[in-house]
Chain A
């Protein structure tokens, strides 16, 4: 069995596909909204150096990634250990050398990586126009506005993904998440204007 097959097998026997998908969406949504919030804040605050904006946003993105990895690993390792213990009680045998034991050790790491990678990758995608502009490439629209557009697009796509999982209208689901993002942006604009 190659590594990919083995990973799929371990996820299947522990039934953690759903958990990973949930972590991906929840933390991805967190990452996108955090970046949207930061960029909206900079947008309404007026002129700020692009490198300062990038550093602040990168700092938040890295913190979200590290927080995602560590929190998911700690909680998932505890859950897997508990599940293995229950299974060992039912089987009346030590299962540490079985596929279930291997899953209890490996799956938390995998879930943690997904949980950390999701907000980090989404944040980096949102920051791409800022990084590109800072590197000297000319963009057709203002970098901050381009970043907000990408954030809204990614949030819409996360909604589409959720809609396709739930088997409901992808458009409706995408618009729902987009409305949440627009509401967040409007709240930031409202509070920052006072």
Chain B
């Protein structure tokens, strides 16, 4: 089984909810997630974010659903770090 450890996402979102609420909602998508958000660009109605999610086993679908639920739109997955479990025997 391959576990996702780190994701760097390019996300477009409306100004509201703000980056803090956005990061909290993503962190709630799974247990023990660490979320770091950097606002890269601010437009009239939207802002572009770099979202870094770190965890022991990130559920990508839950993260994406959380982003979409808050009105955000995932543009690209810019970086991924995964780890395969050591094979037994």
Contacts and interface: CB of A to CB of B under 8 A. Distances in A.
Interface of A: 9, 12-15, 86-87, 90-93, 95, 97-100
B57 to A, nearest CB: 24
A180 to B, nearest CB: 36
B26 to A, nearest CB: 13
Contacts of B81: none
Nearest to A90: B45
B1 to A, nearest CB: 31
Contacts of A13: 14, 16-17, 71
B14 A100 contact: yes
Interface residues of B, number: 15
A132 B82 CA distance: 73
A14 B14 CA distance: 11
B45 A95 contact: no
B59 to A, nearest CB: 19
A121 B69 CA distance: 36
Interface centre among A14, A15, A91, A93 (most CB of B within 10 A): A91
Contact of A97 (B17, B43, B68, B72): B68
Interface of B: 12, 14, 16-17, 21, 43-46, 68-73
A98 B70 contact: yes
A12 B21 CA distance: 11
Nearest to B70: A99
A5 to B, nearest CB: 11
B69 A98 contact: yes
Contacts of B45: 86-87, 90-91
Contacts of A12: 16-17
Contact of B12 (A91, A98, A99): A91
Nearest to B16: A13
Contact of B71 (A15, A86, A91, A92): A91
A95 B70 CA distance: 9
A91 B17 contact: no
Nearest to B73: A93
B11 to A, nearest CB: 11
